[in-house]
Structure 1
């Protein structure tokens, strides 16, 4: 006898496109606004900018503040909850919005997968402004359509306003709720970002590490036996250590992340011994070693195991995963010297730093503001390292959120050109 689908004892299937949240306790931001994040406030602004009656908004905010909004359910294009009013029976209230089309999601995924800092920000429950600019994730005035079972025909009624204010709190806590509102679930997005990020990493590895020449072992032994020829010279040391192979997950196998890290460690240290004759790990601080370990992993923090690595390493050293992701970018840009450039501003002597600004102006680049070893515009920055190299940095306009970009160069114009070309 077969068990019918949905019968008692069947394992329920996870629905990534439907999430329910218990009552959200209100918390007013320090500036007096209802939401605490820029995207949460943008959600509130979209409602307030089209509201026809400010008094209803004020009552809705008071309802939200007094806990009148029950559990909230979010599905693509819809936010639903029961809201208590003046009558004993609560009203069914919802906010509808347009879902993002396939073209919009393609632009979002391409932009997010191309920049490790965007991925790190999303994993740290932050939304970079650049992603919003690419796709228009947040609702514009008029995009939110309220509906309520109450007799009030206001636009919106106080119950819909209360739901909208409380929904902003959900967005504060988890921006993936916004993505679900726009049509995609968290696991669906992370899986697609993982796939695209892996494809980019594979393409970079293939382009950066051409196949090494090989000598068949049989040919060596045959030649040695026939004519007593000397062994062929050793193969040249590659420019960089290789990366371990990627295998499908196996529930019966050891932790794949641990194996991957061990293989990466062996490759890096063996390469260092071959090229320098010493161990580069011995002199590192715990923080530098944690950054080096994370940087040795080919992923960008998307899979559950890699997210656990970033989280655990960061927690052990009282840092955040975003701190670690930024440091990893600096390490991949220039090793320990690149990490020092990220974390240690210093006052360079007269010379190369003073000549950099005239050189940039002569190359038709915008005027840069100097501060210690840094030259900055609103979104671009060059930092002079103690090793004499210029390191490129980039930030979303108007935000002091600098991330390493491009390859370091002795010439500031060259470093900036590489930064803009990536």
Structure 2
């Protein structure tokens, strides 16, 4: 239906899609968010950050009230943030808006259940709704921009704005919906229309008293040839993504939940497509190494460092043991891990021919020990799979770490090690 006053309708829509919040009061040692969606926003910021020190300073700026009024529009959060100079910096956080199809999925899911509508009216976001259209940001979804000269990602001013925005989301989840593209009045009007349409259809069906179609039992149980079963659905190309898990007091660790869900999806996908479980034969230690190796490099984020500590403690190893084993796994999987941990005596053959080959290539100083050929800082290890694996150590320290690309030729493995 066309609105009676299109200009007034357009003005109302523009107002609904732009909200400005006055500067928030300073915090006194409190958390910036207590709701699960507010904490998800904070985690997306912290998992994106490349410098933890800037996060700490941004958190302090936000706590001391350095962030002025915050303006939220679709795809953008903007505020002026006071730093060390007299003039504040113009700071923005950008994120992707949802498509019309995403919004249609979200609103249809919300309107299908009265408890979802009631939760939204009560400023609460059911977990099931948040996953329908990827409402919550993920690491890398938040793009900071600031007029300050700091090239950090994010700078402390953008971090401060993110932390203060979490407080807005905590109080009103419709701020998150506005960031994703739609205002509160627009969403509630759409839900009201969908709910009214649904109720009218239910009343119409009840009023007509349409009879439920039936089939005589003798016909249903009569013997007859059955049609062939339809072909099975094609398996998906990749395992599905797990939902975003909240980080709330007393709840399970969201990183652990994410790992469990991701693992279950990957193993189910492998069983569906190959009929085998890729990790069924691994020991607890081997599986811990595999899990850590699948995670981004250690030391980048607090969550990754915590993962290494917990996996190492659970398997009676040190984080350094785990990091060395992860380097081996990334070098060549289970076979490379065995090379790291299991010295052995190879039979005569390829191992005995390795030293003459190295000498011919002008590498004469390797000394043998079991399946190792070593110098003061370089080492080649011969695996039971007939492949050579490169290792490095600081000179004369015997602190060997897997490096380079494995090769069936010892000269090739050494060349790959030296070319790093």
Under a length normalisation based on structure 1, what TM-score does the superposition of the two structures give?
Answer: 0.46
TM (normalized to structure 2)?
0.46
Q: Bigger radius of gyration, 1 or 2?
A: 2
